[in-house]
């Protein structure tokens, strides 16, 4: 009895905790009483400006400080200890990578978000390895003389591959620096404030050099010399031109001032990529063609036009990351190496796959990974029959390459598939035909013969092309090849997506899409309103987001939206013209009636500033948001129907007929009759656009409204967890009594050290 008495309090606690997890679904509020799983707990759904983020940082560790012959840098150092300690103290993981590590292809976007070069120059043997990381969407944080490398690698100035010191950059004395922009890399500082740095000669770039670059639009000057403003000491690049983000700062990593400690931490957090998906191309089986001119060791043919260099650039510019999977002694296509990626690209291989690799790939696809397989004709001359190798890999799928040897370019004919959005035709060159059975479907055909097909396999997706060059540099600019390539990547990386998002403004960089990426959600984007009904019908969505800022919905599209809501679907809709179709039943389903047109560039006035869409996860901390873009029609003021709640409007207090934002009381629909994309200011002084923050709050709220289950899990999962918790606690209590309890000291966690 003594044992039972001592265990009883533990059992009571366990039963109590279990009861918190087991929530009957009848008590869950929301449209149609359906449950929506999201990718992370609500408390994790904040922009990086509002939450700690564990960035994965690699820092260059090279003691050979000899300046490479092509560089004009001087006084190189290898001071990485202070920055490592600073970033680890801020919660980030930091690993030192040597030249040998990088030569061994360890610098990958799947493993690291940011690569830091502290007043050093990568050795010539890894120039291209570091550039490859950046070209694939990885971010760079460089200090002082590392600017020389940025010039040499054509990162700062496209087309310029030399070191233009004395003309475009130099070393100049600087101590007090002037802040020139309000930016996420410097959240503690405002324009015209002064930042203090240790006295020395630090690298500066001429503002005129920035202004003359083809990618000048993507630069933000952060710090300059107040007395000679043409001398820029710090800048950021958020490029839609090529490659990942870049921040250049002064300093050599020693005696870091308090001001720059803050800037370094903020810079790393801003530099972290938030990709739509992670792509890797297989280099372990000698693809017939590759990406870069320096890939000759791993590909069969190196060509200036038959390569995937522009395809990678297009992918990265559309917020994907892109790695190469190099041969490894530890295994090539293994479960561990595939796990970080969403898409694996296989190009006509000149080395065979092992049976273990074929099994690993099939299991990976079945578990949610996606394949883009680029095959080709049977008449290819070379070391291997890649078409046969591909068919061996796909033996359990419903697609295979045929035995055709078709020569010459031709336009393909579209079938019916969601990847055809805005792609009326594509051009294919020499090609094979594809055999399609079972659940596989044709996408593009040539005189009735399938050339490109798709299949959903388990939880993953596959696209097979009978033409390996369809996305290479030679064909990418023809017809709709470029658009179709992005459609393919969007579809392949949305196998697990529960969210459909349409936007007609900003497209892949639209505020609603940026918000989704910041939240870490998988999503299927859509940019052509003609395809709204196709995509809505393509699967059961947990949430549909429609941001129609530029065009009008047709009655057919409104019918599709109405049917989706009527079936219990959850919707966020932003639209400007209820009066154009004011009698359509969709508006009563959303709970609004047209009242009047909004004035040009109106303010958005919060009627319930404590509501979660204004406070969580981003506290907008403002009574109103200001419109900074003059759309032709800024929206409508609305009358709210019974069963719906107005949260904001055109007047300082709630008044009938003045509503802008309307939420259904069952949290099924959220309507913005005001174009929140116009709120590009920063009223809450967070350094992030108000429009992105409001979109994020609305998405987070609709995915996890009041009354939802803990951690967004379904009741059965919660029941299983609860029973498991109870069992573990009971067993633990018995073991505790049996062994007599007690405690032992915990070993210290080993901090990240230099990699040998």
418, 402, 497: which is closest to 454 by C-alpha?
A: 418
Q: How confident is the model at residue 631 (pLDDT cuts 50, 70, 90)?
A: confident
pLDDT tens column, 546-561: 999 889 999 999 999 9
Asked whether the predicted pLDDT for residue 422 surpasses 70, the reply is yes
- Residue 528 has, within 13 A of its CA and on its CB side, a CA count of 13
pLDDT tens column, 24-46: 222 222 222 222 222 333 333 33
| Kind and range of the H or E run holding 558 | helix 555-566
pLDDT of residue 602: 82
- What pairing do the DSSP bridges indicate for beta strands 139-143 and 246-249? parallel
* Cβ atoms < 10 Å from Cβ of 496: 16
Q: What is the DSSP letter of 403?
A: S
Burial class (CB in 10 A: 0-12, 13-18, 19+), 444: buried
Asked whether the predicted pLDDT for residue 251 surpasses 70, the reply is yes
Cβ pair 419, 487 in contact under 8 A = yes
pLDDT of residue 27: 23
Cα gap 285→334, rounded to integer Å:
13
Tell which phi-psi region holds residue 262, choosing left (phi > 0), alpha (psi between -120 and 50) or beta: alpha
Q: What are phi and psi of 633, to 5 degrees?
A: -140, 115
Domains and their CATH numbers in the chain: 56-271 (3.40.50.880), 277-492 (3.40.50.880), 499-703 (3.40.50.880)
Quote the tokens at residue 525. 């984007």
Measured CA angle at 508 (ends 530, 426), to 5 deg: 60
Quote the tokens at residue 232. 């820029």
pLDDT of residue 95: 98
Close Cβ partners of 287 (under 8 Å, ≥ 6 residues apart): 281, 298, 299, 300, 346, 347, 348, 349, 350
Integer-rounded Cα Rg, in Å, for the chain is 28
pLDDT tens column, 287-322: 999 999 999 999 999 999 999 999 999 999 999 999
pLDDT tens column, 91-124: 999 999 999 999 999 999 999 999 999 999 999 9
Asked whether the predicted pLDDT for residue 272 surpasses 90, the reply is yes
Measured CA angle at 428 (ends 426, 430), to 5 deg: 175
Give the mean pLDDT of 597-616.
Answer: 91
Cα gap 143→130, rounded to integer Å:
15
Asked whether the predicted pLDDT for residue 501 surpasses 60, the reply is yes
Q: Which residue has the higher pLDDT, 645 or 173?
A: 645
Cβ pair 432, 405 in contact under 8 A = yes
Cα distances (Å, whole numbers) of residue 9 to 13, 15, 19: 6, 10, 15
Instruction: Return the bridge partners of 596, or none.
Output: 637
SS3 assignment for 410-479? EECEECCCHHHCCCCCCEECCECCEEECCCCEEEEEECCEEEEEEEEECCEEEEEECCCCCCCHHHHCCC
- Sign of the alpha-carbon dihedral angle for 129, 131, 137, 139: positive
Q: Which residue has the higher pLDDT, 605 or 35?
A: 605
Tell which phi-psi region holds residue 473, choosing left (phi > 0), alpha (psi between -120 and 50) or beta: alpha
pLDDT of residue 721: 59
Upstream peptide bond of 617 is cis (omega within 30 degrees of 0): yes
Cα gap 717→735, rounded to integer Å:
27
Asked whether the predicted pLDDT for residue 728 surpasses 70, the reply is no
- What pairing do the DSSP bridges indicate for beta strands 246-249 and 231-237? antiparallel
pLDDT of residue 756: 36
pLDDT of residue 633: 82
pLDDT tens column, 744-753: 333 333 333 3
Asked whether the predicted pLDDT for residue 418 surpasses 70, the reply is yes
């Amino acid at each position: 009895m003594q044992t039972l008495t001592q265990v009883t309090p533990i059992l009571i606690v366990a039963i109590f905790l279990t009861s918190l997890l087991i929530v009957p679904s009848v008590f869950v509020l929301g449209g149609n009483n359906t449950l929506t799983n999201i990718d992370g707990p609500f408390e994790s759904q904040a922009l990086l400006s509002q939450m700690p983020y564990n960035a994965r940082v690699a820092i260059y560790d090279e003691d050979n400080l000899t300046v490479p012959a092509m560089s004009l840098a001087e006084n190189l150092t290898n001071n990485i200890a202070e920055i490592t300690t600073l970033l680890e103290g801020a919660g980030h993981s930091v690993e030192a990578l040597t030249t040998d590590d990088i030569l061994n292809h360890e610098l990958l976007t799947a493993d690291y978000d940011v690569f830091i070069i502290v007043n050093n120059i990568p050795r010539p043997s890894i120039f291209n390895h570091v550039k490859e990381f950046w070209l694939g969407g990885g971010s760079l944080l460089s200090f002082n003389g590392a600017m020389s490398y940025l010039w040499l690698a054509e990162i700062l100035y496209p087309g310029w591959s030399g070191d233009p010191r004395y003309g475009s950059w130099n070393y100049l004395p600087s101590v007090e620096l002037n802040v020139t922009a309000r930016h996420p890399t410097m959240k503690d500082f405002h324009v015209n404030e002064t930042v203090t740095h240790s006295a020395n000669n630090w690298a500066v770039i001429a503002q005129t050099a920035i202004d003359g670059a083809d990618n000048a639009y993507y630069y933000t000057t952060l710090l300059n010399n107040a007395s000679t403003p043409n001398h820029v000491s710090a800048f950021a690049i958020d490029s839609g031109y090529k490659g990942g983000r870049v921040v250049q700062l002064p300093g050599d990593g020693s005696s870091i001032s308090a001001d720059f400690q803050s800037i370094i931490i903020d810079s790393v957090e801003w530099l972290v990529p938030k990709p739509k998906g992670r792509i890797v191309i297989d280099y372990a089986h000698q693809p017939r063609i590759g990406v870069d001119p320096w890939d000759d060791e791993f590909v069969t043919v190196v060509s200036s036009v038959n390569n995937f260099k522009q395809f990678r650039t297009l992918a990265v510019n559309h917020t994907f990351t892109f790695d190469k999977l190099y041969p490894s002694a530890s295994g090539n296509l293994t479960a561990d190496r595939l796990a970080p990626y969403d898409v694996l690209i296989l190009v006509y291989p000149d080395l065979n796959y092992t049976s273990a690799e074929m099994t690993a790939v099939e299991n990976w696809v079945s578990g949610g990974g996606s394949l883009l397989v680029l095959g080709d004709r049977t008449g290819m001359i070379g070391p291997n029959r890649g078409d046969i190798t591909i068919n061996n890999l796909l033996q359990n799928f419903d697609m295979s390459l045929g035995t055709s040897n078709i020569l010459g370019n031709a336009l393909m004919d579209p079938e019916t598939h969601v990847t055809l959005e805005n792609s009326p035709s594509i051009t294919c060159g020499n090609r094979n035909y594809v055999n399609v059975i079972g659940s596989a479907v044709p996408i593009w055909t040539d005189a009735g013969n399938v050339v490109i097909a798709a299949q959903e396999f388990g939880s993953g997706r596959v696209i097979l092309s009978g033409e390996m060059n369809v996305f290479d540099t030679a064909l990418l600019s023809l017809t709709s090849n470029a658009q179709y390539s992005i459609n393919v990547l969007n579809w392949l990386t949305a196998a697990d997506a529960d969210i459909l998002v349409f936007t007609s403004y900003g497209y892949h960089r639209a505020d609603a899409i940026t918000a989704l990426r910041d939240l870490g959600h998988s999503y299927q984007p859509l940019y052509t309103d003609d395809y709204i009904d196709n995509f809505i019908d393509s699967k059961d969505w947990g949430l549909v987001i429609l941001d129609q800022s530029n065009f009008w919905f047709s009655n057919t599209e409104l019918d599709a939206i109405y049917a989706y809501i009527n079936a219990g679907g959850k919707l966020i809709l932003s639209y400007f013209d209820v009066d154009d179709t004011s009698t359509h039943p969709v508006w009563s389903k959303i709970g609004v009636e047209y009242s009047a047109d909004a004035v040009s560039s109106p303010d958005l006035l919060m009627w319930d500033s404590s509501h979660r869409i204004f406070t969580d996860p981003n506290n907008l901390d403002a009574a109103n948001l200001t419109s900074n873009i003059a759309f032709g029609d800024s929206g409508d003021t609305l009358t709210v129907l019974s069963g719906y709640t107005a949260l904001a409007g055109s007047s300082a207090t709630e008044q009938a007929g003045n509503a802008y934002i309307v939420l259904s009381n069952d949290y099924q629909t959220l309507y913005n009759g005001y174009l929140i994309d116009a709120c590009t200011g920063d009223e809450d002084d967070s350094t992030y656009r108000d429009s992105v923050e409001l979109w994020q709050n609305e998405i987070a709220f609709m995915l996890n409204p009041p009354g939802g289950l803990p951690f967004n899990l379904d009741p059965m999962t919660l029941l299983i967890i609860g029973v498991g918790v109870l069992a573990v606690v009971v067993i633990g209590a018995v073991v505790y009594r049996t062994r007599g309890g007690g405690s032992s000291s915990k070993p210290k966690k080993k901090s990240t050290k230099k990699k040998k």
